[in-house]
Amino acid sequence: MPVSPSVVIGVDSSTQSAKAVAVDAATGRVLGLGRAPHTVTGTGGARESDPEEWWTALVTAVRAAVRDAGVDPGSVTGIAVAGQQHGLVALGADHRPLRPALLWNDTRSAPHAAALADRFGGPKSWLERTGSVPVASMTAAKWQWLREHEPHHAEATAAVRLPHDLLTERLSGEAVTDPGDASGTCWYAPADGAYDPALLDLLGLTPAQLPTVAPTGATRAGGLTAAAAEALGLPRTVAVAAGTGDNMAAAVGLGLGAAGLLDHPVVSLGTSGTVFAATRGRPADPALAGFAATDGTRLPLGCTLNCTLAVDRFAALLGLDREDALPGGETVVLPYLDGERTPDLPAASGLLTGLRHTTDPRAILGAAYEGAAFTVLRALDGLLAACGLDLADPAVRTRPLRLIGGGARGRTWTDTVRRLSGRPLVVPAATELVALGAAALAAGASTGEDPVALATAWGTGAGETLPALARDEETWERIEGVLGTAAAGLLS
């Protein structure tokens, strides 16, 4: 009978679903995949999920991945969770959720973020302390919303967790997080590698309510608890890594770290659009999240709220297939259906302008793609400039982009990004980079090896290179003009 390879499991617990990959730890080959959906509820800016469903989905996905791999469960040596960032999970004295989790894209906390940003000397001081200025997405703003709107829940909160923290604790029994995900709370100081005592006082939190911060996401948190081992059908000897946030795990899956600083800026097209790069410094830009990476470098990140989901909504409204699109021409769409984070317009709504009697519905859909891609690429320009790069330098302007996320599999998305960026694109062949990054963290926890080096050896970031197209300056300038006019009206 053939001997099963050493297998590690990476879990991507995202906004919409849990995905688990069973990976050959030696080669990085994906042996099996499992998934299970999450439910998101809320209207009027609210976005919430039941954390218990995350655990149920994780169990279902992991069991399915091991079954799909056809391996002996005893060959599994490590597991790690990468989770959606920023979400607020408030646990009671019984360590169960007091209410549904407030998700990263819940914009009800926008006023609380603005109020926090005005404290402690304003945005500059927040940048120096945490690397980020509070916006509606950040966990600190959500905690302030809870304190103001549901004080009975805030007062009953014995522990505060991020989504991946909760799942890691369910697996290992240990309350542990990592610098990457912790850096998205706005109460953790990446420069110090610790929670900021003054900010905890401001927020009415204590260190005892928060998980311990492990040195890296590959740090071994422990083995599986008896309950977790039984639920997953795995041995208790499985090493549980501290894990990290989804963006940090994607960076690991791409092999981004100290060896490749700013070589491959990344554009991720998912429910949200994100741009990030590995750096050593801390870009001081209030439009960026100054995250920590899992290997000691920095992972400055720009994030937009409206990306693939918003474009799919336009396709549904128009009765079109998502690929049945034409260039927008005169039509401009700002698809800010959930407000927007970058630019910081949390109260914004979608905008459609430039319609004629002759406008083809497919051009409206194409304009939605263009508006979403423009917003993400504009955030990328801000990221590169904040990292000290000259955007007028042809070498910078034509640097290849790594394109990942669900949108990277869509022809219209890739065509639109190529046309508006004027850059070549590298589209990795691997489809589950967040889960693969988590698998590399799991392998690191079980073997002590560097997860970024492991992922690089696995080749998970390799893929097809699409040549650059001539940059569509006319469309870029048209959208930029509409955004400037709209933003002035929204902010006046």
8 A C-beta contact, residue 168 and residue 137: no
Maximum CA pair distance of the chain?
72
Return the closest-CA partner of residue 404 out of 425, 424, 386.
425
Alpha-carbon distance 188 to 169, whole Å? 19
- Count of beta carbons in the 10 Å neighbourhood of residue 456: 21
Question: Which H, E and C letters describe 177-228, residue by residue?
Answer: ECHHHHCCCCCEECCCCEECHHHHHHHCCCHHHCCEECCCCCCEEEECCHHH
Return the closest-CA partner of residue 475 out of 360, 373, 344, 391.
373
Give 330's contacts (C-beta < 8 A, 6+ positions apart): 354, 356, 359, 478
8 A C-beta contact, residue 290 and residue 183: yes
Active site (catalytic) residues:
246
Give 401's contacts (C-beta < 8 A, 6+ positions apart): 264, 265, 266, 267, 380, 417, 421, 423, 424, 425, 426
Alpha-carbon distance 383 to 377, whole Å? 10
Return the closest-CA partner of residue 35 out of 23, 21, 18.
18
Alpha-carbon distance 471 to 454, whole Å? 36
CA atoms within 13 A on the CB side of 243: 36
CA atoms within 13 A on the CB side of 486: 23
Structure tokens at 305: 């709220």
Return the closest-CA partner of residue 455 out of 294, 225, 281.
294
Give 263's contacts (C-beta < 8 A, 6+ positions apart): none
**49 bridge partner residues:** 101
Alpha-carbon distance 32 to 459, whole Å? 18
Give 99's contacts (C-beta < 8 A, 6+ positions apart): 90, 150, 153
3-state DSSP percent of the chain in helix, strand and coil, to 5? 40, 20, 40
Structure tokens at 470: 């001539």
Structure tokens at 35: 């998934």
